[in-house]
Amino acid sequence: MSIRIDQLPRDKFIMPGTAACPGCPLLIGLRQVMMALNGKMSLVIPAGCSSVIPGMSPATSYGVPTIHVPFASSPAVASGLVSAVRMRGNNGPVVVWAGDGASSDIGFAALSGAAARNEDLIYILADNEAYMNTGIQASGTTPWMAWTTTSPNGKTEERKEMALIMLMHKIPYVATASIAYPLDFIAKVRKASQIRGFKFIHLYAPCPPGLKFDDSYTVKIAQLAVETGIWVLWEYNQGKLTISPPSAMYKDKSKRKPLSEYMKLQGRFSKVGEDAMKIYEAKIDAYWNTILKLSELYK
Amino acid sequence: MQETIQRQARKVLVGDHAVAEAVKLARTQVISAYPITPQTLIVERLAEMVDNKEINAKFIRVESEFAALASVYGASAGGARAFTATSSHGLFYMYEMLWWAAASRLPLVMAVVTRSLGPPWNIHDEHTDIMAIRDSGWIIGMAQNVQEALDMTLAAYKITEDSRVLLPVAVGLDGFILSHTAEVLEVPSQEVVDGWLPPRDPHIPYVIEPGGEPITMGNMVKSDAHHMLLKKMMDEAMDGAKNVIHDVFASYAKLTGRNNGDLIECVNCQNSDYVAVATGAWSGDIMKAVSDLREEGYNVGFLRIRFLRPFPEEAIMDVASRARGIIVFDRDYSTGLGGIIAAEMMGLVPQSVSFKGVIAGLAGVDVTPSEVKAAIKDFIDDAERNGPIRIRKTWLMQKMEGGKP
């Protein structure tokens, strides 16, 4: 499904004047979701930056039907919502737009439950790799060695691989995406909207203040994550797993940019020295290895 | 009236199955629940009804009670009539969602099969669980018997969906004493219920649906005063619910011939010197004690609290103003305060009227009519001799061997 940027809808579904920080990746990502579905969806949003970004009621900057819900509840609320609207004959997409804390930590049980029931939802994990809204605390997807306010000397644990965890729920569609590759992401959202059942998209969305980089670098950081191979774009669609085009060339390790190019722009990795960098590169190889093996398995 | 009453079917059901029957008769569209004893029979029966296509509903088999309430809340936001049920620890696991659902002003019905809270693990009856949600914005009813569990569940839909109310309704029934005890009851026909309870209008109060009106629910408010105003509006809706509850049971009575009162049921409570007060299934035992005492010449009546929220303040003040003494039996307690109904009522009872709160039957401990009778008799005798007496908290329990008391 190839998409041309000049053929994307021009309607705006997010009004100007939001409360988002300069360079916020969530607005970039959410715009792409709304573009993909032409605004014909409803949004379920758990506590997080995206519950603050639309601004103050009675106004909102989100131009689609939206329900803000408690932190751990979004997959369950969405399960009920989609059941109700389907019963009433509405087949439009119900989209959960949730952060990493809501998905990998506090709402993990609800996410697993909704996926195991194969509810007809598109779940987008917009991952900024920490609890940014509450002031940059470490979450289940905060990477190893990253500084946060609750891991001041760098996180000692590994991150959870959410997309792989969701793959093992045997749902029809799992993909990773990046706000720096809108055509890839939009194509994935559109594909997901054509499939019945639970669809999970893990969207990388680097946050300037949280990751400590200049707010003009949001897209650049997201791009570097793919170019260095630390973020791999792949897609599992009903039995078949493939590396997505923007990541395809980085199967070849020699094509990847040095990891330091990605890390040195982010204050959170300031504690990563040469030795840690080597370990990091080995972890990236191991992840690639897993994905490539899975692509052999799910041919 | 006689004709419609004849259209009811006489059945023998346990309380949990009576609730399931009501959920079916209400043509509930989305059901979600998680198993917990003694609520389990409700959801097992409903799952069976859904699978056998006795009811056209979606059953969401969730992974927790938190998700159960979250999903029926979502279903209500999506325009469906929805139901969940729980008990004790499950109700507490829902706690955050209880408040969110109520403040979202969406119609919902939940059965709470009352049960004590651990540790130690104990599945037996106590009312503390349902009492713990009394500040959350839910309308809370307590059934006295299996018939009332069915009637109140049906009425709950009519109450919660009324545009003057739009607050969720919890229907309490005592664990095992009602949930697992078979009683004979009258079940109205589907036709009669359909005529009384039309399908839910999904646009009242609002609907979140793909491609629908681009409204947002729940984002931050411009001013905290606006948020406070929403609280005041909930409080006003609770007050308004008093009339709605009256009207709903009055219209239900026209169909079924049954009306056990509004917020309270009064059994000689307005013309007696002394009035015993309680809620839930053990009201039957307490009424037995009261009628025995009346036979012995004691001038005593009974006030049964049917709805804990909205709190029947006016009815209680009215009864208290005519009485010489009020004795309240709580099968619940607030640690550090005492029996919850006693604590909530005491301020409504004039200083000149004797008052006593009795905590009994916690953790499923059986309380016999003779124990209740002795407690009421002691209170009346004491009040007559030394009155007015004012004791908010006493514990009625057996002496334990080798321990206190």
CATH number at residue B162: 3.40.50.970
For residues B26 and B110, state if they share a domain: yes
Residues 78-137 of A with CB under 8 A from B: 78-88, 90-94, 109-110, 112-113, 116-117
Burial of A88 per CB tally in 10 Å (0-12, 13-18, 19+): middle
Q: Report the alpha-carbon distance of residue B49 to residue A8 in Å, rounded.
A: 47
Q: Report the alpha-carbon distance of residue A47 to residue A88 in Å, rounded.
A: 28
Q: Would B46 be classed as within a structural domain? A: yes
pLDDT confidence bin for B5, thresholds 50/70/90: low
Provide the 8-state DSSP code for A93: P
Quick one: CA dihedral B57, B63, B69, B73, positive or negative? negative
- pLDDT attached to residue B249: 97
Q: Give chain A positions within 8 Å (CB) of B208.
A: 42, 65-67, 81
Is B70–A69 a contact, with Cβ atoms under 8 angstroms apart? yes
Q: Which domain holds residue A219?
A: 5-297
Q: Give chain B positions within 8 Å (CB) of A60.
A: 216, 219
Q: Write the CB contacts of B228 (distance below 8 Å, at least 6 apart in sequence).
A: none
Is A87–B30 a contact, with Cβ atoms under 8 angstroms apart? yes
Q: pLDDT tens across B71-106, in order?
A: 999 999 999 999 999 999 999 999 999 999 999 999
Q: Would B401 be classed as within a structural domain? A: no
For residues B59 and B105, state if they share a domain: yes
Looking at the structure of chain B, the number of domains it has is 2
Q: Report the alpha-carbon distance of residue B318 to residue B262 in Å, rounded.
A: 15
Q: Give chain A positions within 8 Å (CB) of B82.
A: 80, 84
User: Average of pLDDT values for B235-252?
Assistant: 97
Q: Give chain B positions within 8 Å (CB) of A93.
A: 210
For residues B218 and B242, state if they share a domain: yes
Is the pLDDT confidence value at B384 over 60? yes
For residues B213 and B310, state if they share a domain: no
Mean confidence (pLDDT) of chain B: 96
Task: Extract the runs of DSSP E, i.e. beta strands, from B175-255.
Answer: 182-187, 216-217
Is the pLDDT confidence value at B155 over 50? yes
| Residue A176 and residue A127 in contact, taking contact as beta carbons nearer than 8 Å | no
For residues B178 and B36, state if they share a domain: yes
Where among B231, B256, B281 does a domain terminate? B256
For residues B320 and B248, state if they share a domain: no
User: Average of pLDDT values for B356-364?
Assistant: 98
Is the pLDDT confidence value at B378 over 60? yes
Q: pLDDT tens across A162-187, in order?
A: 999 999 999 999 999 999 999 999 99
| A9 vs B153: which has the higher pLDDT | B153
Closest residue to B58, CB basis, from A72, A78, A87: A87
- pLDDT attached to residue B7: 76
For residues B196 and B323, state if they share a domain: no
Pairing of strands B274-278, B300-305: parallel
| Residue A206 and residue A240 in contact, taking contact as beta carbons nearer than 8 Å | no
Identify the CA nearest to B388 among candidates B292, B295, B274, B227.
Answer: B274
Q: pLDDT tens across A70-115, in order?
A: 999 999 999 999 999 999 999 999 999 999 999 999 999 999 999 9
B79 in contact with chain A, both atoms CB, cutoff 8 A: yes
For residues B163 and B301, state if they share a domain: no
Residue type at B98?
L
Q: To which H or E segment does residue B333 belong? A: none
Q: Report the alpha-carbon distance of residue B11 to residue B96 in Å, rounded.
A: 38
Residue B132 φ/ψ, nearest 5 degrees: -70, -10
For residues B194 and B292, state if they share a domain: no
Where among B230, B256, B282 does a domain terminate? B256
Q: Would B403 be classed as within a structural domain? A: no
Closest residue to B216, CB basis, from A39, A60, A85: A60
- pLDDT attached to residue A1: 57
Closest residue to B219, CB basis, from A60, A73, A79: A60
Q: Which domain holds residue B374?
A: 264-395
Is B71–A83 a contact, with Cβ atoms under 8 angstroms apart? yes
Q: To which H or E segment does residue A149 belong? A: none
User: Average of pLDDT values for B49-53?
Assistant: 97
Residues 44-83 of A with CB under 8 A from B: 44, 51-52, 54-60, 62-70, 72-73, 75-83
For residues B288 and B240, state if they share a domain: no
CATH number at residue B280: 3.40.50.920
Where among B256, B286, B316 does a domain terminate? B256
Is A70–B63 a contact, with Cβ atoms under 8 angstroms apart? no
| Sites in chain A below the pLDDT cut of 70 | 1
Q: Give chain B positions within 8 Å (CB) of A70.
A: 70, 96-97, 100
CATH number at residue A130: 3.40.50.970
Looking at the structure of chain A, the number of domains it has is 1
Long-range pairs of B386-391 with CB within 8 A, sequence gap ≥ 24 = B387/B324, B387/B325, B387/B354, B388/B325, B388/B351, B388/B352, B388/B353, B388/B354, B388/B355, B389/B325, B389/B354, B389/B355, B389/B356, B390/B346, B390/B351, B390/B354, B390/B355, B391/B355, B391/B356, B391/B357
Helix or strand or coil: residue A137? strand
Ramachandran region, residue A126 (left: φ > 0; alpha: ψ -120 to 50; beta: rest): beta
User: Average of pLDDT values for B383-387?
Assistant: 94
pLDDT confidence bin for B4, thresholds 50/70/90: low
Task: Say if the ipTM goes beyond 0.85.
Answer: yes
Q: Report the alpha-carbon distance of residue B279 to residue B330 in Å, rounded.
A: 8
pLDDT confidence bin for B179, thresholds 50/70/90: very high
Quick one: CA dihedral B67, B73, B79, B84, positive or negative? positive
Is the pLDDT confidence value at B136 over 90? yes
Q: How far is CA B144 from CA A49, A201, B45, B148, B307, in A?
A: 47, 50, 21, 6, 11
Q: Would B400 be classed as within a structural domain? A: no
Q: Give chain B positions within 8 Å (CB) of A87.
A: 29-30, 58, 80
- Number of A/B CB contacts below 8 angstroms equals 181
User: Average of pLDDT values for B32-40?
Assistant: 96
